[in-house]
Structure 1
Amino acid sequence: MSDQVDDAVRDADDTRSGLSTAPAEVDSSTTVVGLGVLGWVRWGWRTLTSMRTALVLLFLLAVASVPGSVFPQRGTDPIKVTQYLADDPTKGEILDRLGMFDVFASPWFAAIYLLLFISLAGCVIPRSLQHWKAMRSRPPAAPRNLSRLPEHRRVETDAEASEVLASAAALLRGKRWRVDVADDSVAAEKGYSRETGNLVFHLALLVLLLGVALGSLGGFRGNVVVREGSSFANTLSQFDSFAPGRGFDPESLQPFSFTLDDFTAQFERGGPQSGAPRQFVADVTVVSEPGAVPEKARIEVNAPLVIGGEKVFLVGHGYAPTITVTDKDGEIVFRDSVVCLPQDGNFSSTCVVKVPDASPQLGLTGFFLPTAAVDDIRGPHSTFPATDDPAVFLSAWEGDLGLDSGRPQSVFKLETTNMTRLGIEALRPGETWTLEDGTTVSFDGYVQFASFAIAQDPGKEIALVASIAAMTGLALSLLVRRRRVWVRVASGASGITVVDVAGLTRSEHASVADEVDEVASALGSPAGASTAQGSTGAEGAPE
């Protein structure tokens, strides 16, 4: 019965404060009418801004992020996206239309993101205003029957009632309690920072979403593949892929350029971790602006190059074999280092060479193997990611490359529908393959390439501050206990002042017994008979 009374009092308390989520009671004698347009709008707003809806949207945002880990993303690995589209054009086109290769910039992800932002704002901001008012209000007055509270002590003293109340108020204020003194009682409350921390955490999430949105709108992200000895200038035409925010101005790109002088990759040799990457380093020469003095710099994983608010990240690397094609008349019709796409951890890589200047047109598909091996089951493959024994396995095709059809083609795929296969050959560096018509294909060596992501995120500082605030708020909400203490005095026999001290905690798995004992022992001596305590675990107190 006591629990039922306490629950009823607590519900009434919440209803008066405007924090109750229970549905309003409806008088059965009242005729129920339709909500109307305005009523449905209010219902929709209240549903959207409820904490339950915010949690559902947060869960949906987490689920919507999963494809970003399953499928390669243009913002981080455009080479793998290109390879995926080349390997399975039909499925790849469907996934591309659904935004699976650019999840975090897709309309459906943005819709969830925006709804979550609105839901959090509509839920947290009103609660923050209510909490601010509650912090400035007086602690609740002492209930009439303190003995029914979970923690209760009764002591006696010879001091006057006014002196007891003054001593109790001074003691509690010294312990940083919020104190209110009435005629016969003292009310004190502590632990408001628990709710403050909870609100700071949610407000910080709101600011974090705002910072991420600001970065997405006002920033950009681009990717480029640079071979050793080649250069990159920070202009739109130089990017392999470029994803600007809606509010980004291309004219604000920093006018820097850099040359990839050398790329170094080191791998574990021997043991169970053989082949595991140990170090990736790109040594570059940077010109920060036209006319500036070139400077040497080093870009490593998690150590980007920073120029005027833009960062250059090292996100990948691979090999580019140098192929030379000479026609039957001795004219060089192709010479270049061809970027090959890694297919596994040992960097078995695929590449395509298109020679439209040959007559007839010539196409080459190949495998570049840093440490070549051949067996009956796996065929040509690489056994180690470093170039211990490099080789390229080429397949030659002649015919129409389809470059004049007007239909765009991937540089990593050869259309062989109108072509005839000429043969297959394995080449080591320095070796040459002579075709039947006298055309020669030589493998002159290789260079390495590095894949860079260049980004500008104006909201990162806001996101960092919000993240720190969120962690601080979460720590407060978990560590601080919300509790209340009341002291009431009454006149006893023979001029004795009877002091009742009681406490109540609003936090689960917490106790206010130590504080009640401290206050009681400071105000008097235990009474002759202990007072029966109420049931434990009550959240509210009868008034």
Structure 2
Amino acid sequence: MSSVEERTGTNAGHSATAGAGGGPPAVRRTNRAIVLLRNSWRQLTSMRTALILLFLLAVAAIPGSVLPQRNISPEKVNEYFTAHPDLAPVLDRLGGFSVFSSIWFSAIYLLLFTSLVGCIAPRMRDHVRTLRSVPPTGPKRLDRLPQHAVLTDLDEAGRQAVADAGGELPAIASMLRKRRWRVVVRGNTVAAEKGYVKESGNLLFHISMLAMLLGVAIGSWYGWHGNRLLVAGKDSSFCSTLDQFSETGLGPRVHATDLPRFCLELTDFKARFLPSGQPESFSASVLVDENGGAQRPADFSVNSPLRLHGASVYLLGHGYAPVIRYTDRNGKSQTLASPFLSNDGNLTSEGVATFPDVNLDPATGKRDPKLQVAFEGIYLPTAPEQPPFVRSQFPEERNPALMLIAYRGNLGMDAGLPGSVYSLNQKLISDGKLTQVGDAKLLRPNEKWTLDDGTTVEFLGTQQYITLSVRYAPASTLMLVSSATLLIGLMFSLFGRRRRVWFRVTPTDPDDGSTTGGSSLIEAGGLPRTDYAGFADEFNQLVAAVKRGAGGREGTE
């Protein structure tokens, strides 16, 4: 009976051993699933795959820059749906409006993360082993190296340096060490190597990239953001509860109760413009109340956010909110400050002011849906002197004017249908549920307009508003440090050049085996490990330094 000893081969899918009775070798079949997993892992952790995944990640991020994203600007996403009713639903199903949280982007991200870990780990191990090793022994024939030189005699300075160092070998080794070469002396040969910083830079670059990916993941899991339009005035202040934000995005690990507690009140806003109308500076003044404490004043601007405990408040933009007072048929007045959204650089702004709770029945106190009132308008901070009054001439309020169109009817609020607070539902107008009252009217500040039913609307002026983005990015420091170290590693990787040189000292007197003086033959050879156009000049400088006994700190990494 024969016995078979099974062994696992490293480069083949089977192994064979001869039987004890001299029979044919037995063949062992390797599990194909294991082979497939091993080969897939090797392919995934190759540098080529990592570069391909990095390129795919950059390409995948392009739609996030071209298309509006829901977590940043949901209003522009809605505008895109309106402008492209056929294309937008297709892009939405593909994750085009939430690129960075889509499944396909996350898949590329995770594969790149895994590939980088698999690439870095073995390279780090090999690099540490290389740093702990000494330069290798030189070849027997140095004349076969790309750079080669023979010194038959030293000048007076060189002979003096040899005498001071106690021989040619110590003198050469001392000169190389002063030039930051790693040196080892073996027998009659000095071996030196330089340029380890190149691989160190490569590893630093990849580790920094890995740290950046980790920072992005941490920020995605534990970070959150919220947008808010804040009108000046105590009545318009807001607190950091989820329902008071216009739009929010919470990470998977963040709950609404985890948001920091604070309240903001806009007290003042200052904007300066160049004569061309281009913005020069924006700054906002607010009252801050954190965790129910005493209010404190704070100022912040576009490039200097407001730092709070657990959040940062960024100033994104500003605009004007016309203050409109409407007096109904019963003589009751309501005043409303309605933010108008700007549509050009001169802050020509459009918006609506709705009054659903006017013209109540005096007997029952109920409102008649058919007597609700809304005003659609254009606000001009600097209106032209002559019509048409459609565009502002300057973003600052120099000649303010408000063009209003009045509507009366059912605003559709009782039906519970969602709608924009910045525009009227045009379907209500086309269906006749909202009808226009008279012609458009241009109002200056403190001017009054009497409608056909005796009700009046008065333009009292404006209040300024700002748009805020409140964000918490827990890994921002990690991202900053990673970005800086990534650039440093890239510079080391690009400018580092690994190279080796050998100096062999042979006594010219065959009866004298000493290399501590006298007449000796010094042979030098050099080998660049990477493409290095300046290696020939550096090698010649080393040879010249040996000849004259120089020991200055010359050369580069």
**Normalising by the residue count of structure 2, what TM-score does the alignment of the two structures yield?**
0.80
Measured after TM superposition, the shift of residue 137 of structure 1 is 2.1
**Partner-residue secondary structure (3-state), 1:486:** strand
1:321-342 CA distance string (max 9 Å, x none): 112222223233x421111111
CA contact (8 A) 2:147 2:536 kept: yes
Residues 1:188 and 2:192 aligned together:
yes
Q: CA shift at 1:348, angstroms? A: 1.4
Shift of 1:152: 0.9
1:35 and 1:368 map into 2 onto residues whose CA distance is 75
Task: After TM superposition, give the deviation of residue 268 of structure 1 in Å.
Answer: 0.9
Q: Which digits, 9 at most, give the CA deviation of each residue in 1:468-519, with x for residues without a partner? A: 2112212222232211001223344566532211112223243334553454
Q: How does 1:134-283 map to 2 (within 5 A)?
A: 134-156=130-152, 163-229=167-233, 230-269=236-275, 274-283=276-285
Give the alignment partner of residue 368 of structure 1, picking from 370, 376, 379.
379
User: Partner residue of 2:535?
Assistant: 512
| Cα separation, 2, equivalents of 1:525 and 1:426 | 92
The question of whether the paired residues in 2 share the 8 Å contact of 1:374 and 1:380 is answered with no
CA contact (8 A) 1:222 1:453 kept: yes
Q: Cα offset for 1:231?
A: 1.0
Is the 8 Å Cα contact of residues 378 and 403 (structure 2) preserved in structure 1? yes
What corresponds to 1:471 in structure 2? 487
| RMSD between aligned residues | 3.1
Distance 1:226 1:276 in 2: 23
- Does structure 2 conserve the Cα–Cα contact (< 8 Å) formed by 1:201 and 1:474? yes
| Residue identity opposite 1:429 in structure 2 | P
Q: How does 1:318-333 map to 2 (within 5 A)?
A: 318-332=319-333
SS, match of residue 365 in structure 1? strand
1:87–1:261 Cα change, 3 Å:
farther
Correspondences of 1:306-325 after superposition (within 5 Å): 306-325=307-326
Equivalents in 1 of 2:85, 2:547: separation in Å? 85
Contact 2:311 2:472 in 1 (8 A): yes
Inter-CA distance 461–77: structure 2 relative to 1 (3 Å threshold): same
* Larger RCO, structures 1/2 (Cα 8 Å, 6+ apart): 1
SS of match in other structure, 2:396: coil
Determine the C-alpha separation between the residues in 2 that align with 1:482 and 1:196. Answer: 11
Aligned residues: 490
Q: Which of 400, 408, 414 pairs up with 1:404?
A: 414
Match of residue 538 from structure 1 = none
Q: Conserved in 2, the CA contact under 8 Å of 1:321 and 1:338?
A: yes
Secondary structure in structure 1 of the residue aligned to 2:539: helix
Write the letter of the residue equivalent to 1:59: F
Name the structure 2 match of 1:11.
none
Give the letter aligned to residue 338 of structure 1. Answer: S
Q: Secondary structure at the match of 2:505?
A: strand
Kept in 2, the 8 Å contact 1:401–1:416? The answer is no
Counterpart position of 2:112 = 116
Contact preservation (8 Å) 2:175, 2:546: no
The answer to whether the 8 Å contact 1:328/1:437 transfers is: yes
Displacement after TM superposition at 1:441 (Å): 2.5
Find the counterpart in structure 2 of residue 299 from structure 1: 300
CA distance in 1, matches of 2:86, 2:263: 38
Deviations 1:408-438 (A, max 9, x none): 2222232233333334222222223333233
Identity of aligned residues (%): 43
Counterpart for residue 34 of structure 2: 38
Distance 1:354 1:506, change over 3 A: same
Q: Distance in 1 between matches of 2:375 and 2:104?
A: 41
Partner of 2:365: none
Letter in 2 for 1:425: K
Structure 2 distance, partners of 1:371, 1:88, is 33
User: Partner amino acid for 2:435?
Assistant: T
Instruction: Note closer, same or farther for the CA distance 1:328–1:450 as it changes in structure 2 (3 Å cut).
Output: same
Q: 1:438 to 1:524 in 2, by over 3 A?
A: closer
- Call closer, same or farther: CA 1:125–1:176 in 2, change over 3 Å: same
Q: CA deviation at 1:524?
A: 5.4
What 5-or-longer segments of structure 1 have no aligned partner? 1-23, 527-543
Mean Cα deviation higher: 347-356 or 447-456: 347-356
| Counterpart secondary structure, 1:122 | helix
Aligned counterpart, 1:448: 464
For 2:134 and 2:397, locate their aligned partners in 1 and report how far apart those are by CA, in whole Å. Answer: 76
- The 3-state SS of whatever aligns with 1:441 is strand
Q: In structure 1, what residue type is equivalent to 2:107?
A: A
Residues of 1 paired with 2:90 and 2:377: CA distance? Answer: 28
Structure 1 residue 244: Cα displacement: 1.2
What is the CA–CA distance in structure 2 between the aligned matches of 1:329 and 1:117, rounded to whole Å? Answer: 68
Deviation for aligned residue 1:153: 0.9
State the distance in 2 between where 1:349 and 1:87 align: 20
- Residue identity opposite 2:207 in structure 1: L
Paired with 1:394 and 1:35, the residues of 2 have a C-alpha distance of 79
- Mapped contact 1:152–1:503 kept (Cα < 8 A): yes
Contact 2:497 2:532 in 1 (8 A): no
Matches within 5 A, 1:98-109: 98-109=94-105
Deviation (angstroms), 1:181: 2.6
Distance 1:177 1:145 in 2: 22
Shift of 1:74: 4.6
CA distance in 1, matches of 2:89, 2:463: 32
CA contact (8 A) 1:505 1:512 kept: yes
Question: Does the 8 Å CA contact 1:153/1:516 hold for their aligned counterparts?
Answer: no
Contact 2:383–2:389 at 8 Å: present in 1 too? no
Residues 219-259 of structure 1: per-residue CA shift (max 9 Å, x gap): 11111111011212122122111111111243332222121
Alignment check: 8 A CA contact 1:481 1:510 kept: no
Residue pair 2:289, 2:296 contacting (<8 A) in 1 also: yes
Counterpart Cα distance in 2 of 1:193 and 1:263: 52
Return closer, same or farther for 1:313/1:67 CA change in 2, 3 Å cut-off. Answer: same
Alpha-carbon separation, structure 2, partners of 1:437 and 1:78 = 39
| Map of 2:435 onto structure 1 | 420
Helix, strand or coil at the partner of 1:199:
helix
Give the direction of change, closer, same or farther, for the CA distance of 1:525–1:458 in structure 2 (3 Å limit).
closer
Q: Say which SS state the counterpart of residue 472 (structure 1) adopts.
A: helix
Conserved? CA contact 1:351–1:366, under 8 Å: yes
Between structure 1 and structure 2, the one with the greater Rg is 2
Mapped to 2, the partners of 1:327 and 1:394 lie a distance apart of 17
